Amino acid sequence: MVETGSKSKEMPEKDVPLPSSPDRELVEGNAIKIYPFSIDKLCEDNARYWFHAMEKQLKLQYCWQAIKYYEDVGDREYAAVLGRNEKWFRTDLKADAIIEHGLNPQTVLEVKLQPNSGRKWEYLKQRFLKSSNTRKAMKLMRMANWTWDEQRMNEIGAFREVMEMAQEFIEMNGSTTVEVKELALLWYLRGLGNKYATLRDMLMGSDAKLTPEYVLSRVENTMQMQSKSTEKASRAHHAEKGIKCFACRKTGHQARICLSKQDDDDASTDEGKRQDGPGGRKG
């Protein structure tokens, strides 16, 4: 008889309590209060009015000072201020929330990585207020050709008119500075004349940033296309000059358009008509 031994049951291990982590300290404070307001979502069509209305709203809610502080001290110093001064941090956060209230979801995602309200405001102005190269060039030409009209205004009025044009250009450009290279490229495109009118209109009508490398590459591409077109037309012309007509044995045209052949055909037709009498062809 075989003896069977019973297996001893293994006792489950008791749960070992994990060391408890200290509770995170709760930061208490007054919530940032934003007074309700309504504004159309920012787009290219309403950009100028939007920035005017949003600036007024930021002033009414006492946080426009955050934008001005950023403009006065720059990105690096402003970031340091936000890191050490809670009041400025809260004011900037309030300005940031108010600005995003006037943006559509796509634009909010586009600017979400901007670190503060000042940088966000600057980015949006560059994005929506900077006009096309064509409008900038036209405004610059108007300013360059401006002369004082004594019949229309006095010296003080003339000064105000020039300053108004300058302010309009600043709003178009998105800043008070203009790169000399960008101006040179605008004059270059304008001076190429009608031969490059299509390219000029395309470049100046776009929102692409005009750099020397970009403009020169497009001009070189146009030069190559124009050269190929001229070469093709020249080959066709030389090929046509080498054609020999089998009707008159002369070069430069084909038999189907040969004048001598047409004259012979006309003569044959006339001869046939003379042979035909009123009663039909003579036998």
Torsion of CA 54, 55, 56, 60, to 10 degrees: 100
Distance CA 281, CA 283 (A): 6
CA distances, 39 to each of 44, 105, 130 (Å): 15, 14, 21
Q: Is 11 exposed, middle or buried (0-12, 13-18, 19+ CB in 10 A)?
A: exposed
Judge whether residue 268 has pLDDT over 70.
Answer: no
State whether 147 and 235 are in the same domain.
Answer: yes
- Average confidence score pLDDT of the chain: 78
Same domain, 231 and 148: yes
Do 212 and 199 share a domain, yes or no?
Answer: yes
- When divided into structural domains, the chain yields a total of 3
Measuring CA to CA, which residue among 64, 66, 218 is closest to residue 133?
A: 218
Q: Indicate whether 263 belongs to any domain.
A: yes
Question: Are 87 and 152 in a shared domain?
Answer: no
Residues 149 and 223 in one domain: yes
Q: Which residues contact residue 83 at a Cβ distance below 8 angstroms, ignoring those fewer than 6 apart?
A: 89
Does one domain contain both 148 and 198? Answer: yes
pLDDT tens digits for range 83-129: 999 999 999 999 999 999 999 999 999 999 999 999 999 999 888 87
CA dist 192 and 37 (Å) reads 51
Domain holding 153, by residue range, is: 133-239
pLDDT of residue 49: 87
Q: What b/e string do you get for 219-228 counting C-beta neighbours within 10 Å, with b at 16 or more?
A: beebeeeeee
